[in-house]
């Protein structure tokens, strides 16, 4: 609306300039002989220099008509030598006889090659404020003069608005405007079109508007009927874009524009009250149909516009295509098939609020409020509730070899190139809000009652304190991502209680080697510029306590029996049916993580026949395992083979190596038995030594007693 007011001022200044020219021509026979006098008169009235380089043409009857060619009006003092306004050619005429009846009948006003440069230096400082004229007018004793204009034609024109305070430029190029008759209360057809850019090529948008306009209530109310607008949006040039005027810039300027349109049956603006009456608009953004209602106040100042916005149910995939976005390939081909939106809105000069947002995406419904508290800094605020979402539907399909359970996913992930962290984007974030999710599925794992508070500002993002119910237990955590330094710092403080540890390990480490239920906590930090650097620098502490579980992939009791049979050269024991697993009653320990390697020095496991303790490491990125355990056989199975008697109260060294996906377990039964045999031999030797010593003592005593 401010732009309309500025355009009105410029038009008034131009018409005033033409009227001054007409008045001058009425006084002089040949206006070309008096260019200096005309320029002097204009400078006296406006304080601005005027130059007329082209010919001035004059007709007197039946029209007082004037042609202006190559005219320049300068800026007020302090705004430099750049002209405020230039006109290549302008024509206007006033019918002579109606003047006798105090009627001013103006012919069609033609303006070609108009160029206007508006400069703003703040709220009150600009280069057009002196052209506003007086706020009040006095009627002559003879009554009011009626004026009409047959129409207006503007061609090949340009309007530039330069905000020196904000260091921004807006430019309307190839400006064309045409109207029907102006003046009185009769409706008139009007249309305008222009190209918009930011002070230089490439073009950002092409806009065209037309409507039937009517001024009512003595010019205080503007009504637009059958409003139609179309636009092609090419997008603002990005940093590092091709130079203006280059072939690449011209090509980029026309690349896949987004087409927009707007229609409204009626729009009514009260120019005195600065209000917009309730109006309905049908908008299309690409193929996205939007129904919009609007009502406004303070239109020419600190405007407030509000209403409702709705998008009928449509295909999200087709919408993405209309915006020039290639839809992703998803594991569920039916994902992104439905989208709908309904909301109230309130727009001001600095803020946008959506207080009653209701969004549907497939089977997911999002309700709540979203607002941008500062449009300049994009300060985003939100408070949203999500009923349920299955994120697995929107992920990429699994590779065919991964579906077979080959266990190659970790290796593939390790070979994937590092992903750059979006540090610049995080540094620009100004976000605060709450997200509540009733149900969510991630990596085939169900989450419920999720609470995700988020605050991001000045390069520091804080997610937490978060909470959820997952894996049959509860979770709470606190995550901080600090991007204020060249290398980001990630801090994690998480606690899980009564959860399915197997599901947790599958989600966190992509392994199903552990089963059981228990508690776990992690307090970790990492730093880097890529996800790989974060993984490698991961440091901190982890603690876990699992009950009634199992470690999949090996059977420790069987491996000990097998090693014993091999040592004794006896038949191998029969392996239990099913996949090998080591069941345990309890498994606990703590670990220190340093540079991506987990070191555990206090592992304790209570198995059916064995108590194990030990220490080792797990490389989180490669999942390489290196553990040394001591397995104490504290009891033997009832009815077991006599061959197992050698294992009674045995403390057997066990080495675990390989990866989580392919662990190698090697109990050193031979070393244990050899050590045990040597110990028994030593004990026998010591017993013999003691017997000999006793006998020798007795002989010596008998000898000395004689």
**212 vs 202: CA distance, rounded Å:** 32
User: ∠ at Cα 334 (332, 340), nearest 5°?
Assistant: 125
Find the mean pLDDT for residues 150-175.
Answer: 92
Structure token pair of residue 270 = 């009260």
Q: Which of 135-139, 242-246, 390-394 has the highest mean pLDDT?
A: 390-394
Q: How confident is the model at residue 251, as a pLDDT? A: 42
Mean pLDDT over 577-585 rounds to 83
Residue 338 is predicted with a pLDDT of: 93
Rounded to whole angstroms, the Cα distance separating 385 from 394 reads 20
Average predicted confidence (pLDDT) for the chain = 82
| pLDDT, greater one: 89 or 22 | 89
User: Which distant-in-sequence residues (6+ apart) come within 8 Å of 306 by Cβ?
Assistant: 294, 295, 296, 344, 345, 346, 347
End-to-end distance of the chain based on CA atoms, in angstroms? 136
- CB of 72 within 8 A of CB of 85? yes
pLDDT (tens digit, 9 = 90+) per residue, 295-342?
999 998 899 999 999 999 989 888 888 777 888 999 999 999 999 999
44-84 pLDDT, tens digit each: 888 889 898 888 877 766 677 788 899 999 998 888 888 99
| In the chain, % of residues over pLDDT 70 | 80
The whole-model pTM stands at 0.70
Closest C-alpha among 119, 148, 157 to residue 14: 157
Give me the pLDDT at residue 248, please: 47
Report which listed range, 505-509, 526-530, 604-608, 673-677, is most confident.
Answer: 526-530
Our CA angle for 47, 51, 55, nearest 5°, is 140
What would the pLDDT profile of 281-308 be if each residue is shown by its tens digit? 999 988 788 999 999 999 988 999 999 9
Would you say residue 19 has pLDDT above 70? no
pLDDT at 35 over 90: no
pLDDT at res. 245: 46
Per-residue exposure over 520-539, b if at least 16 CB sit within 10 Å of its own CB, e if not:
bbbbbbbbbeeebbbbbbbe
Name which residue leads in pLDDT, 443 or 611.
611
pLDDT band at 138 (very low <50, low <70, confident <90, very high): very low
Say which range, 65-74, 406-415, 581-590, has the weakest mean pLDDT.
Answer: 406-415
Buried b (16+ CB within 10 A) or exposed e, 374-405: eeeeebbbbbbebeebbebbebeeeeeeeeee
Residue 524 clears pLDDT 70, i.e. is over it: yes
153 pLDDT higher than 90: yes
> Range with the lowest mean pLDDT among 218-227, 608-617, 671-680?
671-680
Query: What residues contact 510, with CB distance under 8 A and at least 6 apart?
Result: 409, 410, 413
Phi-psi region of 286 (alpha: psi -120 to 50; beta: other; left: phi over 0): left
What pLDDT does 439 receive? 94
Cβ burial, residue 574 (10 Å; 0-12/13-18/19+): exposed
Give me the pLDDT at residue 401, please. Answer: 52
Please, are residues 340 and 360 in contact by the beta-carbon 8 Å criterion?
yes
What does the pLDDT average to over 187-200?
A: 93
Q: What is the pLDDT of residue 506?
A: 74
Q: In this predicted structure, which of 21-35, 60-74, 229-243, 325-339 has the lowest mean pLDDT? A: 21-35
For the stretch 389-410, pLDDT in tens is 999 999 988 776 544 444 444 4
């Amino acid at each position: 609306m401010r732009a309309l007011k500025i355009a009105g001022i410029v038009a008034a200044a131009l018409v005033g300039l033409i009227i001054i020219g007409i008045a001058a021509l009425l006084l002089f026979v040949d206006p070309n002989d008096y260019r200096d006098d005309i320029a002097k008169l204009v400078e006296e009235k406006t304080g601005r220099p005027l130059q007329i380089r082209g010919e001035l043409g004059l007709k007197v009857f039946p029209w007082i008509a004037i042609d202006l060619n190559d005219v320049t009006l300068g800026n007020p003092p302090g705004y430099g030598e750049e002209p405020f306004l230039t006109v290549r050619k302008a024509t206007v005429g006033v019918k002579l006889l109606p003047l006798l009846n105090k009627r001013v009948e103006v012919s069609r006003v033609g303006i070609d090659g108009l160029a206007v440069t508006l400069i703003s230096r703040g709220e009150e400082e600009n280069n057009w404020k002196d052209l506003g004229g007086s706020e009040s007018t006095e009627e002559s004793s003879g009554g009011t003069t009626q004026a009409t204009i047959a129409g207006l034609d503007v061609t090949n024109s340009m309007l530039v608005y330069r905000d020196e305070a904000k260091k921004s430029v807006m430019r309307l190029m190839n400006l064309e405007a045409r109207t029907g008759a102006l003046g009185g209360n009769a409706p008139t057809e009007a249309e305008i079109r222009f190209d918009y850019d930011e002070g230089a090529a490439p073009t950002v948008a092409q806009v065209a508007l037309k409507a039937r306009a009517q001024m009512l209530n003595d010019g205080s109310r503007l009504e637009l009927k059958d409003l139609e607008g179309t636009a092609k949006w090419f997008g603002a040039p990005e940093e590092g874009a091709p130079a203006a005027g280059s072939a690449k810039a011209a090509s980029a300027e026309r690349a896949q524009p987004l087409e927009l349109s707007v229609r409204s049956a009626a729009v009514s603006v009260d120019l005195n009250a600065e209000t917009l009456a309730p109006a309905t608009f049908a908008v299309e953004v690409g193929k996205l149909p939007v129904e919009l209602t609007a009502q406004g106040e303070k239109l020419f100042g600190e405007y407030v516009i509000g209403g409702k916005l709705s998008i009928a149910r449509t295909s999200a995939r087709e919408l993405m295509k209309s915006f020039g976005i290639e839809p992703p390939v998803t594991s569920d081909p039916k994902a992104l098939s439905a989208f709908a939106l309904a909301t109230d809105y309130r727009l001001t000069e600095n803020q946008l609020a959506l207080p009653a947002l209701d969004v549907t995406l497939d089977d997911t419904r999002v309700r709540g409020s979203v607002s941008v508290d500062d449009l300049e800094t994009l300060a985003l605020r939100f408070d949203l509730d999500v009923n349920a979402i299955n994120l697995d539907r929107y992920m990429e399909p699994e590779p065919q070899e991964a579906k077979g359970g080959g266990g190659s996913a970790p290796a593939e992930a390790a070979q994937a190139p590092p992903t750059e962290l979006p540090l610049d984007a995080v540094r620009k974030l100004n976000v605060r809000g709450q997200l509540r999710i009733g149900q969510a599925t991630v990596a085939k794992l169900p989450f419920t009652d999720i609470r995700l508070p988020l605050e991001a500002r000045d390069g520091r993002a804080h997610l937490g304190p978060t909470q959820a119910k997952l894996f049959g237990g509860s979770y709470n955590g606190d995550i901080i991502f600090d991007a204020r330094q060249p290398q980001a710092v990630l801090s994690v403080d998480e606690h899980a209680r009564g959860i399915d540890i197997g599901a947790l390990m599958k989600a966190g480490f992509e392994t199903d080697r552990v089963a059981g239920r228990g508690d776990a906590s992690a307090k970790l930090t990492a730093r880097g510029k890529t996800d790989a650097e974060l993984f490698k620098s991961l440091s901190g502490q982890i603690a876990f306590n699992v009950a009634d579980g199992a470690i999949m992939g090996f059977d420790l009791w069987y491996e000990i029996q097998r090693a014993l049979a091999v040592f004794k050269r006896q038949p191998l024991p029969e392996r239990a049916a099913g996949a090998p697993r080591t069941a345990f009653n309890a498994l606990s320990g703590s670990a220190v993580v340093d540079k991506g390697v987990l070191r555990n020095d206090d592992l304790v496991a209570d198995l059916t026949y064995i108590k194990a303790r030990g220490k080792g490491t797990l490389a989180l990125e490669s999942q390489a395992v290196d553990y040394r355990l001591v397995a104490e056989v504290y009891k033997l199975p009832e009815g077991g083979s006599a061959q197992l008697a050698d294992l009674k109260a045995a403390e057997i060294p066990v080495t675990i190596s390989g990866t989580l996906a392919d662990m190698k377990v090697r109990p050193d039964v031979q070393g244990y038995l050899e050590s045990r045999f040597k110990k028994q031999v030593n004990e026998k030797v010591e017993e013999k030594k003691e017997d000999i010593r006793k006998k020798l003592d007795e002989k010596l005593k008998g000898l000395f007693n004689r």
